[in-house]
Amino acid sequence: MTNDEKGTLNRRGFLGVSAGGAALPLVAGAVVASAPAQAQTAAAAPDARTSVNVTLTINGRNHRLAIDSRTSLLDTLRDHVGLTGTKKGCDHGQCGACTVLINGTPALSCMTFGVMAEGVEVTTVEGLAGPSGELHPMQQAFIDHDAFQCGYCTPGQILSAIGCVNEGHAETDAGIREYMSGNLCRCAAYPNIVAAVKQAKSDMRGA
Amino acid sequence: MRPFLYERADSPERAVKAGGQFIAGGTTMTDLMKLDVMRPEKLVDINPLAKSRAGQIEVTDSGIRFGALVRMAQAEAHPAVRSSYPVIADSLKLAASQQIRTMASLAGNVLQRTRCEYFREVSWPCNKRVPGSGCSAIGGVNRQHAVLGISGDCIASYPGDFAQALIALDAIVETTGGPKGLRLIPFAELHRPPGNTPHIETVLEPGELITAIQVPAGPWTRRSRYLKIRDRDSYAFALSSAAVALDMDGDTVRQAKIALGGIASVPWRATEAEAALRGKRLDEASATAAAEAALAGAKPQEHNAFKVPLAKQTLIRALLETQRMEI
């Protein structure tokens, strides 16, 4: 079994997560988190208590993880990888706060399991800024247009908005509103969000 | 959430052999597992099948074949679907938020479960969830429930949109892993009305896997549309909907294909309305007569009587708008 690789190195971080649900500090390098999974022999009957080993590609980096099969991709990102930019709103696919990009298109991280995300590219709001920290045109546009109030829905709004532009649905206000109807904003910043998407649409052409 | 084993399958044969609850997009399953409504002991992830034919859309002169793992957004955006089968594209486009349509597979979509609040909340008796426990919606809050195809044991409505387009267009479902191996099931026979076994929702056998959905070509597919009426303008389930496809000779109906959503226990083909229109000149009077025929058997409950006139108006408007389509 290879599930003990780097286990010792990151045990402290893993225990921190286990004990308090605190964010795991990011460690530079490809492998940022790993947990010692229970040893499994070939003859052992499958047991749901055994963690599942997965390697997820998040923001261009591979993360080797051992997670309970029940862990949503959302909880995997927040509690096991330490990327808390993705927000949990309803946890039932109705509010869009947990939106991430999967292979470049917006998807709900609360409606899929972490173990199912192997082999796809996940992009979270943390993965949008450039190498020297310059904001993605959509992030900048949200700031320029004051397209939020409390900010809780904003990461999901921004990722949906990027999908909206990339897939060609930002030509009209109605098109933007329809495409982004799965992202609720209780502060009702909708007019500003539409304005931000329109600005970013032209900025993203050059990006 | 209850624990489950997880296994990934990269072929239909392996998926069937794995012997568990199939999961694709997960947009229904994860929701209902969190609510403790669905309690699979083993999940078989069939997403790897999307790399094969099960992830492809094939268009020929005789029709269109959607692999089971094609995503809703992928089908809706397909040029041939939009131009030659607009009722399918419309039904998918209006079905859910973009994120859900990006994730959800077509086969999973047609098998989505009812939105009945009593089904989704495990504290309530529900014959669909716990056979024999009773129906809380009968005599309860039943504004969203069905008026057609219901029984004394269940009045839950089928929530989907795409299925209405499929049943109207005589779609066929391809499956594997059933008792006879491969089989073709007319879409109209896939879902079972509740009767006294509302917990058995389809004719699929345990472990049987949908591999594709076929839609035959016909002179009616281009002149087709899906009209959906909801409580809010976007991202909501249908209060009523109509899938209409027309083969016209001038103003005379050669053949009408009609299905109604939001008001029935299963995807609902409105055969009485189709018969009422055949050979008739299509105008407001004949459309109204067809709508009356479609809803003649409606059995409204305390809170959903509004659905009967709403469904009639939905169908009348859908018929007249489809007639006016430029094709």
Summarised one tens digit per residue, pLDDT across range A101-115 is 999 999 999 999 999
Mean local confidence (pLDDT), B125-129:
98
d(CA B267, CA B92): 15
Assess whether pLDDT exceeds 60 at residue A29.
no
Give helix then strand counts, H and E, for chain B: 13, 12
Which residue reads 């779609």 in tokens?
A: B171
User: Cβ distance A193 to A155 under 8 Å?
Assistant: no
Mean local confidence (pLDDT), B264-290:
98
Token digits of residue B217: 């070509």
> Which strand ranges, in their side-by-side order, compose the sheet holding A121-123?
A61-67, A52-58, A121-123, A99-102, A105-108
Q: Nearest CA of chain A to the CA of B31: how many Å?
A: 6
Which residue reads 């052992």 in tokens?
A: A44
Residues of B in contact with A93 (CB under 8 A): 27, 30-31, 97, 99-100
> Which strand ranges, in their side-by-side order, compose the sheet holding B63-67?
B57-60, B63-67, B209-216, B172-178, B181-186
Does ipTM exceed 0.90? Answer: yes
Q: Output the pLDDT for position B179.
A: 85
Which comes out higher in pLDDT, residue A24 or A159? A159
Contacts A–B by Cβ distance under 8 A: 85
Q: Of all residues in chain B, what percent carry a pLDDT higher than 90? A: 98
- Mean pLDDT, chain B, rounded, equals 97
Residues of B in contact with A52 (CB under 8 A): 6
Minimum Cα–Cα distance from A105: chain B residue: B102
Which comes out higher in pLDDT, residue A115 or B327? A115
Assess whether pLDDT exceeds 50 at residue A155.
yes
Q: Output the pLDDT for position A18.
A: 39
Q: Of all residues in chain A, what percent carry a pLDDT higher than 90? A: 75
Token digits of residue A145: 């247009």
Assess whether pLDDT exceeds 60 at residue B249.
yes
A92: nearest CB among B34, B99, B235:
B34
pLDDT tens digits for range A32-71 = 444 444 444 455 678 999 999 999 999 999 999 999 999 9
Assess whether pLDDT exceeds 80 at residue B229.
yes
Mean local confidence (pLDDT), B199-228:
97
Assess whether pLDDT exceeds 70 at residue A25.
no
Token digits of residue B268: 């609902």
Q: Of all residues in chain A, what percent carry a pLDDT higher than 70? A: 78
User: Cβ distance A160 to A178 under 8 Å?
Assistant: no
Q: Nearest CA of chain A to the CA of B99: how many Å?
A: 4
d(CA A186, CA A94): 13
Q: Of all residues in chain B, what percent carry a pLDDT higher than 70? A: 100
What interhelical angle do B307-324 and B284-294 show, nearest 10?
140
CB burial string A25-49: b at 16+ within 10 A, e below: eeeeeebbbbbbbeeeeeeeeeeee
What phi and psi values does residue B249 have, to the nearest 5 degrees? Answer: -115, 90
The vertex-B295 CA angle with B290 and B301, nearest 5°, equals: 165
B103: nearest CB among A72, A108, A160:
A108
Quick check: B27 and A93 CB within 8 A? yes
| Amino acid in position B133 | S
Which residue reads 């010692």 in tokens?
A: A36
Token digits of residue B293: 């025929």
| Amino acid in position A45 | A
Quick check: A111 and B4 CB within 8 A? no
d(CA B289, CA B282): 10
Query: Among B266, B78, B45, B3, which residue's Cα sits nearest to residue A54?
Result: B45
What phi and psi values does residue B126 have, to the nearest 5 degrees? Answer: -160, 120
Q: Nearest CA of chain B to the CA of A106: how many Å?
A: 5
Quick check: B31 and A111 CB within 8 A? yes
Mean local confidence (pLDDT), B286-314:
98
Assess whether pLDDT exceeds 70 at residue A11.
no
Query: Among B312, B306, B275, which residue's Cα sits nearest to residue B291?
Result: B312
A112: nearest CB among B6, B26, B34:
B26
Mean local confidence (pLDDT), B88-108:
97
Q: CB distance from A46 to chain B under 8 Å?
A: yes
d(CA B207, CA B299): 35
Q: Nearest CA of chain B to the CA of A25: how many Å?
A: 27
Chain A residues 116-155 with a CB less than 8 Å from chain B: 116
Q: CB distance from A184 to chain B under 8 Å?
A: no
Confidence of residue A205 (pLDDT cuts 50, 70, 90): confident
Assess whether pLDDT exceeds 80 at residue A28.
no
d(CA B205, CA A65): 36
User: Cβ distance B226 to B87 under 8 Å?
Assistant: yes
Q: Nearest CA of chain B to the CA of A28: how many Å?
A: 30
Q: Output the pLDDT for position B132.
A: 98
User: Cβ distance B187 to B170 under 8 Å?
Assistant: yes
Q: Nearest CA of chain B to the CA of A77: how many Å?
A: 17
Q: CB distance from A182 to chain B under 8 Å?
A: yes
Quick check: A93 and B99 CB within 8 A? yes
Mean local confidence (pLDDT), B119-148:
98
- Mean pLDDT, chain A, rounded, equals 85
A141 Cβ partners below 8 Å, 6+ apart? A147, A196, A197, A199, A200, A203
User: Cβ distance B185 to B111 under 8 Å?
Assistant: no
